[in-house]
Amino acid sequence: MKFKQSGPFTLSLLLLGSITAVQQPAFAVNYGIYEARAAGMGGVGVAVGNHENAIFYNPALLSFHDRNEDEGRDGRFFFPVVAGQYYEEAFDVLEAVEDNDLDQRLDDAVAAYNADPVGGALQVSALIDEFEDLAFQVADRDYIADAFVGMVVAEPAKREGGSFYLGTRLIAGGRVDYTAEDQTILNDYRSYLNIIGGGGTPGAEFDYLLDDNGNLIDPSDGVTSRYDVGAVGITEVGLSLSKEFEIYGYDIAFGVSPKAKRTDVYREARSVASTDTEFRENAVAHYSFNFDLGVAAEFYDAFRVGLAIKDVVPESFRFAEDSPEINFQPRTRLGMGYVNNWVAVGLDVDVVENKPVAGESPSQDVSFGVEFNPLWTIDLRFGYKHDLSGFRSDVMTGGFAWSLGFFAMEASYMQSDEMQGGALQIGLAF
């Protein structure tokens, strides 16, 4: 067989699945971390969230407030609210590819070989070895980024409350399928070049490595590996309403968050020889309406349990008529915790596994977080997150909140062996 030549080709697309496999592909949609408090506490929020972040994790928690809105400065306006995380190894590999200019050096080496086969064989063979080492670094791994930016206004009242937010979440991920056929092709290149370099004559089994003029084909023009990429940009305008009731002597709150959504999707499985994967140019917009539900109960003024469902109505989108379908299923999370004026301790767990959207691995998180209030103006936060599916390494988190008068600021940091991220929000108390 002959390779199908594709013209100029950026080798880093093969080495990374695609450059956009970090910046713009698709991802299993998890419950999400949207702001600094949950980011610093490992992602917990279903039971120990407060009125500032309840709209993101469990709208029922807006009711867990003991003062009327005009009795204190408990309302919050935060802008910007920014949170994000990414798998840094993909960026490291991309930087390595760009630094060593491997794609251009391989093009030049193949051209030099075709002018002088014996003299150029060893150089091409060495670059194929270098290419293979980098390819192994990215094969069969997930490349993930998840970010949110927006604003939130929260106004708690006595055992009820309301909140409003506007924001966009960009979820990106992808996976490289480095095929056995490509490995065989690279091995054949090495064997062919070793024979030429040693002054021998290759057999007919290597003819497929040559074009019709007998010139060596650039190895990057014959790859069969593919990348499954996509991106989801979810812009939402929503509000939350919550009310607490006494049921059989227990305080139980219910909350709902109706929201209007614009979902921009990009999802394709492509040959790595294709470079047309620009999310901004190719994303397709879909408009819909959905809502979140939450319930929470408080016992003995400190112990809490909560259950929340995000995006109660299942949704399906396509990038194009013949593209894979992107499905968004309801995401259910259970939480429990202990909260008083000095400390908050919470545990959240995804009730079901979050299924992949593209070719990446599923996830099912269990999160633990604690918040200390050593001074009235400062909160300290720590957390831990574990993936029950076993595909991702454990995450450690930390953060703080500081308020003075009308000013409020919160920041957090997240890190694992393969990921790092953070969150920041600045706002006003009213």
Q: What is the pLDDT of residue 241?
A: 97
Q: What is the pLDDT of residue 326?
A: 76
Biggest CA–CA distance in the chain, Å, is: 91
CA distance 329 to 319: 18
Domain boundaries, the chain: 16-92+139-177+225-429, 94-137+180-222
Look at the domain 16-92+139-177+225-429 and name its fold. Porin (2.40.160)
Residues in the chain: 430
User: Residue 329's closest CA among 29, 82, 42?
Assistant: 29
Amino acid present at 170 = L
Q: CB neighbours of 246 closer than 8 A, spacing ≥ 6?
A: 252
Mean pLDDT by 10 residues, the chain (430 residues): 42 34 46 96 97 96 88 90 84 58 82 92 88 72 84 95 96 74 89 90 93 88 68 93 92 97 81 51 87 96 96 87 77 97 97 74 93 92 96 95 94 94 96
Q: What is the pLDDT of residue 268?
A: 67
Q: For the residues of 288-306, what is the DSSP string, one character each?
A: EEEEEEEEEEEETTTEEEE
CA distance 47 to 60: 9
CA distance 59 to 62: 6
Q: What is the pLDDT of residue 43?
A: 97
Angle (CA) 133-135-139 rounded to 5° is 125
